[in-house]
Amino acid sequence: MKKKLIITGASGFLGYHLLRAASAEWEVYGITNSKSFHFKDATAINCDIRNYIELGNFIDDIEPDAIIHAAAIADANFCEQNKDLSYEVNVEATKNLAGICCDFHIPFAFTSSDLVFDGKKGMYKEDAQKNPLSVYGEQKSIAEDEVLRIYPEATVFRLPLMFGFVEASASNYLQKFISQIKNGEKVALFVDEYRSICGARSIAEGILKLLNHSGIIHLAGKERLSRYEFGVKAAKAFQLDEALLLSCSQKDVKMAAPRPADVSLDISKAVSLGFAPQSVDEELKLIADKKYF
């Protein structure tokens, strides 16, 4: 009999990849809120994770063997302008889930972000000093500390900017990028914003593989790329007109949430534990060839 896994944020971008990566080995229950998902090998449960009684009842009924918490308000600009609402979801609901997993004594994976760093150095290791610039990064940082205080055996996965299957989500920037270029629009991309960009399939597989390890783990791509460099790779993979790619600088664009310059992550700890992400080119090719799942 398969063990039971609950995935919060199952209707989201990472959730899409987690459901598919997990279903072969786990009996999967995916929690959704305003949207749903279409995947027959998982059971959908609709619940606002801020409703602790309803959520607790669902978890009691399922009796999970592990929980992966991928629900969040993950739009940094929205968090900047909606601090209280995003705090309820990103911090308070996360604390509640960590407490439940502690009581059940089951693995708990919290999905955090590279944006807990200020981006002044890059190639951050797990024990590097945190200094978030945005409300979203600050909420993730507080939630990390709270998760490990409440349940020291939990796993905090710090994740990079991800790309993935273009049908996964309307808000996936790869999908938007492709349709803009196909429509002949010019797309300006930062040459001075660096991330360890990684395909969401590799990240989902990494979370499942390292679920039983405690503490903070950086899961990201092997390459440190600017947004512009990633755009060139994506344009090549999807055979798009590279002449429509324009380079721009962070200082040219005013956004609600401040943006760090270089939040690339050192993934040597995860690699030593067996994490083996595909390269950006490999994963883009699989998506372009429709061989992703």
Ligand X SMILES: NC(=O)c1ccc[n+]([C@@H]2O[C@H](COP(=O)([O-])OP(=O)(O)OC[C@H]3O[C@@H](n4cnc5c(N)ncnc54)[C@H](OP(=O)(O)O)[C@@H]3O)[C@@H](O)[C@H]2O)c1
Q: Cβ closer to ligand X: 244 or 278?
A: 278
Q: How far is the CB of 171 from ligand X (least distance, A)?
A: 6
Minimum distance from CB of 184 to ligand X (Å)? 27
How many angstroms separate the CA atoms of 15 and 201, rounded? Answer: 10
Count other Cβ atoms within 10 Å, centred on residue 53. Answer: 7
Alpha carbons 236 and 279: distance in angstroms, whole number: 14
* Contact between 134 and 125 (Cβ < 8 Å): no
Please identify, using beta-carbon distances, which residue of 106 and 164 lies nearer to ligand X: 164
* Closest CB to ligand X among residues 74, 217: 74
Least separation, in Å, of the C-beta of 215 and ligand X? 18
> b or e along 167-185 (b: 16 or more beta carbons within 10 Å of the residue's beta carbon)?
ebbeebebbebbeebeeee
Token output for 253:
């664009």
Closer Cβ to ligand X, 111 or 134, answer by number: 111
What order of strands is seen across the sheet that includes strand 42-46?
42-46, 26-32, 3-8, 66-69, 108-113, 155-159, 215-218
Q: Of 33 and 134, which has the nearer Cβ to ligand X?
A: 33
Element (H, E) at 28: strand 26-32
Shortest spacing between CB 226 and ligand X, in angstroms: 16
DSSP bridge pairs for 31? 8, 45
Rounded to the nearest whole angstrom, what is the least distance from the CB of residue 152 to ligand X in the complex?
Answer: 20
CA distance 2 to 270: 26
Q: From the CB of 265, what's the least distance to ligand X, in Å?
A: 10
User: Which residue has the CB atom at the shortest distance from ligand X?
Assistant: 12
The backbone torsions φ and ψ at residue 165, rounded to the nearest 5 degrees and listed phi first, read: -55, 125
8 A C-beta contact, residue 101 and residue 108: yes
Q: Which amino acid is at 16?
A: Y
Q: E strand or H helix at 188, and its extent? A: strand 187-190
Decide whether 78 or 242 has the Cβ nearer to ligand X. 78
Decide whether 10 or 142 has the Cβ nearer to ligand X.
Answer: 10
Measured in whole angstroms, how far is the alpha carbon of residue 149 from the centre of its chain?
22
Residue with Cβ nearer ligand X (91 or 235): 91
> Least distance to ligand X from the beta carbon of 132, Å?
12
Q: Cβ 124 to ligand X, closest distance in Å?
A: 13
Site residues (vs ligand X, CB under 6 A):
8-15, 31-35, 48-50, 70-74, 89, 111, 113, 159, 161-162, 169, 171
- Rounded distance between C-alpha atoms, residue 16 and residue 9, angstroms: 9
Closest listed residue to residue 7, CA positions, set 132, 139, 134, 108:
108
